[in-house]
């Protein structure tokens, strides 16, 4: 495949990924962020107020190649939303569209920021266990929602990603046949 054809292929893949994510986001009963940290501790009234008072904050991603990608995004968006909506060049990120089935959205936070993020669900913890390069301050980007007090945070993209769906397919194809 020529370089030009490859570039066109990658551009089309990015457009399709963005469209699929937007369609999926619209069909979910609640945005990921609504079912996450807001409702856990503060109740529906605070949630509604939070959604009304959307503000832009800055997020910095430290990509695998060491380059920093800085974006302004709305409070209430998940980190997966930000990567998709801004077409950030983070290879393989968010493969399952936020359905907690892949762990490709693994991100590493600064400790002080990590402490502000709130509780991790059992489902997120199960998926994090499958992520490569897990740290004490790791979270899944599809489960973390932007808030005003997270303005300016720096997130590190791990060097290697694992996709639990692909990994389990590989395991089953290499497993010895049952007798």
Residue numbers of the site for ligand FES (CB under 6 A)?
Answer: 80, 94-96, 98, 100-105, 127, 140, 142
- CA pair distance 36, 19, nearest whole angstrom: 23
- The token duo for 57 is 């904050």
Residue 109's nearest CA partner among 75, 60, 142 is: 60
Question: To the nearest whole angstrom, how small is the minimum distance from the Cβ of residue 114 to ligand FES?
Answer: 17
Looking at the Cβ atoms of 90 and 100, the one nearer to ligand FES is 100
Question: To the nearest whole angstrom, how small is the minimum distance from the Cβ of residue 102 to ligand FES?
Answer: 4
Burial of residue 7 (number of CB atoms within 10 Å: 0-12, 13-18, 19+):
exposed
Looking at the Cβ atoms of 57 and 140, the one nearer to ligand FES is 140
Question: To the nearest whole angstrom, how small is the minimum distance from the Cβ of residue 51 to ligand FES?
Answer: 21
Question: To the nearest whole angstrom, how small is the minimum distance from the Cβ of residue 83 to ligand FES?
Answer: 9
Looking at the Cβ atoms of 100 and 153, the one nearer to ligand FES is 100
- Give, as one character, the DSSP assignment of residue 38: I
Looking at the Cβ atoms of 33 and 142, the one nearer to ligand FES is 142
Q: CA separation (Å) from 141 to 4, 5, 44, 98, 170?
A: 32, 31, 23, 8, 25
Looking at the Cβ atoms of 62 and 128, the one nearer to ligand FES is 128
Contacts of 159 (CB under 8 A, 6+ apart): 64, 133
Question: To the nearest whole angstrom, how small is the minimum distance from the Cβ of residue 77 to ligand FES?
Answer: 14
């Amino acid at each position: 495949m020529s370089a030009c054809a490859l570039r066109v292929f990658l551009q089309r893949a990015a457009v399709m990924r963005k469209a699929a994510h937007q369609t999926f986001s619209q069909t979910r009963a609640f945005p990921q962020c609504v079912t996450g940290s807001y409702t856990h501790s503060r109740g529906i009234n605070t949630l509604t107020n939070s959604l009304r008072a959307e503000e832009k904050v800055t997020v910095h991603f430290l990509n695998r190649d060491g380059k920093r990608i800085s974006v302004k995004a709305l409070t209430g968006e998940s980190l997966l939303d930000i990567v998709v909506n801004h077409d950030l060049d983070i290879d393989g990120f968010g493969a399952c569209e936020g359905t907690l089935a892949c762990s490709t959205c693994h991100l590493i936070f600064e400790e002080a920021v990590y402490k502000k993020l709130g509780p991790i669900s059992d489902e997120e913890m199960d998926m994090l266990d499958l992520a490569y390069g897990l740290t004490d301050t790791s979270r899944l980007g599809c489960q973390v929602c932007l808030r005003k007090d997270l303005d300016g945070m720096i997130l590190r993209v791990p060097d290697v990603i694992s996709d639990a769906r692909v990994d389990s397919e590989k395991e089953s194809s290499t497993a010895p046949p049952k007798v």
